[in-house]
Amino acid sequence: MDPLFEFLLRQGDNTLVLGHRISEWCGKAPVLEEDIALANTALDLIGQTQMWLGYAAEVEGAGRTADDLAFLRDAWDFRNLLLLERPNGDFGHTMMRQFLFDAYQIQNLKALEASSDPRIAEIAVKSGKEATYHLDRSRDTVIALGDGTSESNARMQSALDALWPYAGEMFLADEIDQAMAADHIAPLPLEYRAPWEAAVLPALAAAALKVPQDDFAHQGGKTGRRHSEHLGHMLATMQVLQRSYPGATW
């Protein structure tokens, strides 16, 4: 498989899967303001998906579109981080997942703005402003909930304990990452680790949360070798209309 195509799938699948997960809060968030904010974040991510998967379809050159890649692939063809397919859980769990990814994504997009591939650099620039807002909001929410009541602190600690083992996959490299680095399209993911920790650890301290000390990292999502059962259930809901009425337009 073309390494560039694979890399673009990883970028687009991350935003697609997280965008859909967040959209599941529409009409169910704790308060109206959060309902609107989560819906807007989901729309931002789906818009970024259109750019990433649209470019991936062009690189593939097989006549598929961004919609085909989103709605007509099976779970084993997806290349998203395992962290992002995790169920929403409660509101605190959702915001912790969002924060851990946002802190990574802002570093990812900043680096890709200098990509040797002009299209990737363009997409990164367009997505960066939205990512900055996402990080500001998720960080502030994590701090507010962690440093809130005993109940909210306990829930945020539970969320951190559950999600931390999935964060490490963001920084693992394989032959696709090495090919991108060799062509100066993207740096190796490990280069994001130090600035990610510089953003995440002080915020977690301000939220009165204890960072798990286990270095274990779940992996397999970005390579497609392993996904959880949660992705299959999510795709069944996300893809049902296109699968039921192939090629339908409105």
Q: How many CB atoms within 10 Å of residue 27?
A: 7
- Has residue 141 been placed in a domain? yes
- Has residue 62 been placed in a domain? yes
- Has residue 249 been placed in a domain? no
Q: How many CB atoms within 10 Å of residue 194?
A: 10
Say yes or no to pLDDT of 214 above 90: no
Q: What pLDDT is recorded for position 248?
A: 80
- Has residue 158 been placed in a domain? yes
- Has residue 71 been placed in a domain? yes
In order of 21, 96, 151, 221, the CA distances from 158 in angstroms are: 19, 10, 11, 23
Q: What is the pLDDT of residues 30-83, one digit of tens each?
A: 888 898 999 999 999 999 999 999 999 999 999 999 999 999 999 999 999 999
User: Residue 221 is part of a domain; what is its CATH number?
Assistant: 1.20.1260.10
For residue 7, give its domain range: 3-244
Full-model pTM = 0.96
Q: Write the DSSP symbol of residue 77.
A: G
Say yes or no to pLDDT of 2 above 80: yes
- Has residue 54 been placed in a domain? yes
- Has residue 209 been placed in a domain? yes
Q: What pLDDT is recorded for position 1?
A: 76
Q: What pLDDT is recorded for position 215?
A: 86
Is the Cβ–Cβ distance between 102 and 94 less than 8 Å? no
Count of domains forming the chain: 1
Rounded Cα distance between 66 and 53, Å, is 5
- Has residue 250 been placed in a domain? no
